[in-house]
């Protein structure tokens, strides 16, 4: 393979990134003109602190979406909230707040939860949207029962995580570690099996791909990333909040879609989700530099909607191979 | 999903499945009524039944479009946003002195337009209709709020007087021609009767099942998939606008968040009723049963003193077993 072909194949494989790359470049440019403090050490530091939970939550949704069958984890936000609330209300309250306990607990519960969800989807054979929608409702209710209003404190060792004065905060290292893990994960044969399962499940099954295993694995990975998202989220707000976690469902799915991953499954990747999250952050950051007064929240809402629709249209236009019907 | 076995079996499976889900739903309704009467004082009183019917009417009207979209294998997530937008838009138009008839028409046409936009944009990427309609909904509700609250200090709420006739249409004390039933309930019953008959008896109604069941077969008998898809989303947008306007009469003031509960409850009503999200199975009759089940259940839970959060949790816990009972997908091994 000569260099030209190599470059072309690289381009074809990463077509889905086109929208998010262009959009984030454009937004960075606007930010550079309107609010250059973003590029200072503290600007980047606080951006990372705010971005980390969203990036990790969108990476959690990604494998489930890639594994297809219309699988979208609507419950990622409430699960993040559940982990945050129980961490504050149970672990810290009863003194099990050392880093080891916390991380083992978060990852353990995250993976266990996702395995239960995967079992229902695979063996009870109820469509993933219905299962995760039910889980959304259940967890949203349970979170409010555990903690009826924002309260509590994060573990002590996390106190200085949330100030974001410098780039190299602990959250930065957690985020980088998880992204490196993702890079390794996406080069495994197992990841290929998830893609195959999502692309054409019957064909994958008939060709000997362990589709059940791939789907379980995708959910387990999602559990790990949701756990880390919950860790960074707790660091960000420094307490427990029963309701705000749920808002991550919409923004994580939006990030995944902006990143060019198809909700129909089998196409896309983690890098897109990361870029998509950055776009979401930059949209509200850039819009905040304009003076919209009372309507600023609505402008953000409208822009998110418009960007979402545009990116779906662009992605469906560029990434549909000839002859594909759906 | 073009398999000979599947094709041959479909009519029987469909019939049994629909009957089973509707019968199950009705059984659940009877159970809930008995439980309610025993556990909650006043559950069987006329005032309570009237209020349950009123709430069911809002949900039922909002779920009509969701049912049609689900029959084609799509979803409409813009419903809560269109309800909220039309709610505040109508309040604002009336505030600005627009007469009621043009105001209602503007809102209704707006709803239809948003629905058609949803249909046009999501047709090519049907697998992603969930997020596409969500995007359109966000854009619409954002734009509506900007339009209304520019120059006002109350973002998202519109204060003002709601005309008396609109209050009468959808308030609990409303009467229809002297009958002590709110008119919106009568409207729902009429709409339901028309839709159920049309879906069962007319070729237009059957076309939804044809497209949802097998797109290739439908196109072979000259049913335009695109046309049905647009109509389903247009109806969904129009009905959402109607629900939003009716809710203005119910609450007495414009509030954009009024649609929020309808994001998940319309889907819950559809799936609890027994309509498959994969398309082709179910119908509005099933959704009516689903709507009544949800409303009875909510009233029972409220009567038992459960908070809103716990009601949601109970809904969530019930949905999976109910759906698993009659709407399981086929295993991958059987699909080959």
Domain residue ranges in chain A: 49-269
Q: State the burial class of residue A79 (Cβ atoms within 10 Å of its Cβ: 0-12, 13-18, 19+).
A: buried
| pLDDT of res. B2 | 42
Kindly give, in sequence order, each residue whose CB lies less than 8 Å from that of residue B299, ignoring residues fewer than 6 positions away: B36, B40, B43, B48, B51, B52, B55
| pLDDT of res. B332 | 67
Q: Cα–Cα distances in Å, from A110 out to A219, B68, B289?
A: 10, 36, 36
In order of their start, the domains of chain B are 44-328 (1.10.3470)
Given a cut of 50, the residues of chain B with pLDDT beneath it are 1-9
Please list every residue in chain B whose beta carbon sits closer than 8 Å to the beta carbon of residue A257.
128, 131
Is A298 an 8 Å CB contact of chain B? Answer: yes
Please list every residue in chain B whose beta carbon sits closer than 8 Å to the beta carbon of residue A263.
127-128, 130-131
* Token pair belonging to A184: 């390794």
| pLDDT of res. A326 | 42
8 Å CB contact of B277 and A127: yes
Query: pLDDT tens-digit profile of A203-253?
Result: 888 888 899 999 999 999 999 999 999 999 999 999 999 988 888 999 999
Q: Which of B3, B59, B22 is nearest to B258 (CA)?
A: B59
Among A154-158, A269-273, B7-11, B159-163, the range of highest mean pLDDT: A269-273
Q: According to DSSP H, which parts of chain B are helical? A: 4-39, 46-71, 79-95, 100-123, 129-149, 164-170, 183-201, 203-213, 215-220, 225-251, 262-273, 284-303, 308-326
8 Å CB contact of B142 and A299: yes
CB crowding B140-169: b at 16 or more within 10 Å, else e = bbbbbbbebbeeeeebbbbeeebeeebbbb
From the CA of A172, how many Å to the nearest CA of chain B?
30
CA A74/CA A283 separation, integer angstroms: 23
8 Å CB contact of A308 and B138: yes
| pLDDT of res. B8 | 45
Please list every residue in chain B whose beta carbon sits closer than 8 Å to the beta carbon of residue A199.
none
Q: For chain A, what is the mean pLDDT?
A: 89
> 3-class DSSP state for residue B182?
coil
Query: pLDDT tens-digit profile of A174-208?
Result: 999 999 999 999 999 999 999 999 988 888 888 88
* Token pair belonging to B150: 């520019």
- CB neighbourhood size of A99 (10 A): 11
From the CA of B171, how many Å to the nearest CA of chain A?
28
Kindly give, in sequence order, each residue whose CB lies less than 8 Å from that of residue A181, ignoring residues fewer than 6 positions away: none
Residues 153-212 of A with CB under 8 A from B: 201-202, 205-206, 211
CA A92/CA B285 separation, integer angstroms: 51
Q: Cα–Cα distances in Å, from B147 out to A106, B141, B156?
A: 44, 10, 11
Size of interface A-B (CB pairs under 8 A): 169
Nearest to A202 among B132, B155, B332 (CB): B332
| pLDDT of res. B144 | 93
| pLDDT of res. B248 | 92
Which residues does residue B179 pair with via DSSP β-bridges, in sequence order?
B176
From the CA of B310, how many Å to the nearest CA of chain A?
5
- Its sign, for the CA torsion A142, B311, A127, B68, is negative
Query: pLDDT tens-digit profile of A160-177?
Result: 887 777 788 889 999 999
Please list every residue in chain B whose beta carbon sits closer than 8 Å to the beta carbon of residue A279.
none
Please list every residue in chain B whose beta carbon sits closer than 8 Å to the beta carbon of residue A213.
none
8 Å CB contact of B127 and A295: no
Q: Please answer whether residues B226 and B311 qualify as being in contact, where contact means their C-beta atoms are separated by less than 8 angstroms.
A: no
Is A301 an 8 Å CB contact of chain B? Answer: yes
8 Å CB contact of B332 and A141: no
Torsion of CA A12, A16, A20, A26, to 10 degrees: 40
| pLDDT of res. B273 | 87
| pLDDT of res. A159 | 81
From the CA of A138, how many Å to the nearest CA of chain B?
4
Nearest to A294 among B130, B142, B155 (CB): B155
Kindly give, in sequence order, each residue whose CB lies less than 8 Å from that of residue A301, ignoring residues fewer than 6 positions away: B138, B141, B142, B145
Residue A322 in this model has a pLDDT that exceeds 80 = no
8 Å CB contact of A129 and B130: yes
Quick check: ipTM above 0.85?
A: yes
> 3-class DSSP state for residue B180?
coil
Is A306 an 8 Å CB contact of chain B? Answer: yes
Please list every residue in chain B whose beta carbon sits closer than 8 Å to the beta carbon of residue A72.
130
From the CA of B327, how many Å to the nearest CA of chain A?
7
Is A285 an 8 Å CB contact of chain B? Answer: no
* Token pair belonging to B151: 């120059």
Q: Please answer whether residues B295 and B248 qualify as being in contact, where contact means their C-beta atoms are separated by less than 8 angstroms.
A: no
From the CA of A127, how many Å to the nearest CA of chain B?
7
CA B316/CA B140 separation, integer angstroms: 29
């Amino acid at each position: 393979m000569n260099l030209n072909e190599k470059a072309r194949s690289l381009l074809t494989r990463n077509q889905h990134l086109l929208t998010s790359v262009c959009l984030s470049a454009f937004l960075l440019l606007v930010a550079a003109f309107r609010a250059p403090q973003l590029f200072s050490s503290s600007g980047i530091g606080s951006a990372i602190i705010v971005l980390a939970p969203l990036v990790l939550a969108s990476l959690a949704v990604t494998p489930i979406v890639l594994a297809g069958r219309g699988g979208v984890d609507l419950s990622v936000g409430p699960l993040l909230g559940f982990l945050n609330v129980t961490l504050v209300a149970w672990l810290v309250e009863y003194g099990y707040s050392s880093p080891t306990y916390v991380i083992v607990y978060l990852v353990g519960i995250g993976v266990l939860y996702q395995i239960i969800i995967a079992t229902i989807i695979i063996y009870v054979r109820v469509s993933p949207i219905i299962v995760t929608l039910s889980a959304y409702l259940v967890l949203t209710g349970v979170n409010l029962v555990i903690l009826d209003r924002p309260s509590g404190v994060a573990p002590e060792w996390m106190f200085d995580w949330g100030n974001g004065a410098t780039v190299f905060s602990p959250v930065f290292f957690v985020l980088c570690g998880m992204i490196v893990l993702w890079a390794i994960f996406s080069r495994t044969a197992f990841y290929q099996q998830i893609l195959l399962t999502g692309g054409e499940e019957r064909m994958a099954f008939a060709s000997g791909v362990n589709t059940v295993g791939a789907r379980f694995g995708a959910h387990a990975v999602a559990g790990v990333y949701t756990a880390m998202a919950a860790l960074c989220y707790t660091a960000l707000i420094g307490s427990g909040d029963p309701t705000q976690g749920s808002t991550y469902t919409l923004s994580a799915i939006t990030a995944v879609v902006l990143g060019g991953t198809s909700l129909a499954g089998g196409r896309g990747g983690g890098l897109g989700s990361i870029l998509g999250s950055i776009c979401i952050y930059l949209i509200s950051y850039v819009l905040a530099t304009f003076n919209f007064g009372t309507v600023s929240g609505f402008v953000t809402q409208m822009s998110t909607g418009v960007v979402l629709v545009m990116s779906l249209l662009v992605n469906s236009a560029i990434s549909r191979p000839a002859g594909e019907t759906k | 999903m073009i398999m000979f076995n599947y094709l041959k079996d479909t009519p029987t499976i469909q019939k049994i499945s629909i009957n089973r889900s509707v019968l199950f739903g009705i059984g659940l309704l009877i159970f809930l009524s008995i439980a309610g009467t025993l556990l909650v004082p006043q559950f069987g009183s006329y005032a309570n039944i009237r209020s349950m019917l009123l709430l069911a009417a809002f949900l039922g009207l909002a779920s009509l479009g969701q049912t049609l979209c689900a029959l084609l294998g799509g979803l409409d997530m813009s419903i809560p946003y269109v309800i909220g937008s039309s709610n505040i838009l109508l309040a604002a138009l009336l505030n600005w002195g627009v007469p009621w008839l043009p105001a209602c028409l503007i809102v209704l046409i707006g709803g239809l337009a948003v629905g058609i936009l949803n249909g046009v944009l999501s047709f090519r990427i049907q697998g992603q209709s969930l997020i596409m309609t969500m995007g359109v909904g966000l854009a619409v509700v954002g734009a509506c709020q900007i339009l209304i609250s520019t120059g006002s200090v109350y973002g998202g709420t519109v204060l003002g007087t709601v005309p008396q006739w609109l209050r009468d249409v959808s308030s609990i004390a409303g009467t229809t021609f002297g009958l002590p039933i709110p008119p919106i309930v009568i409207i729902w019953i009429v709409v339901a009767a028309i839709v159920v008959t049309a879906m069962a008896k007319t070729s237009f109604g059957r076309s939804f099942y044809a497209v949802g069941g097998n797109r290739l077969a439908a196109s072979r008998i000259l049913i335009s998939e695109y046309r049905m898809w647009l109509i389903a989303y247009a109806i969904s947008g129009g009905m959402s606008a109607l629900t939003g306007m009716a809710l203005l009469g119910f609450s007495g003031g414009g509030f954009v968040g009024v649609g929020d509960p309808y994001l998940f409850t319309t889907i819950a009503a559809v799936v609890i009723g027994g309509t498959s999200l994969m398309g082709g199975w179910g119908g509005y009759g099933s959704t009516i049963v689903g709507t009544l089940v949800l409303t009875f259940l909510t009233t029972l839970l409220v009567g038992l003193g459960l908070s809103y959060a716990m009601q949601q949790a109970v809904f969530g816990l019930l949905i999976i077993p109910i759906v698993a009972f009659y709407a399981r997908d086929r295993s991958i091994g059987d699909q080959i």
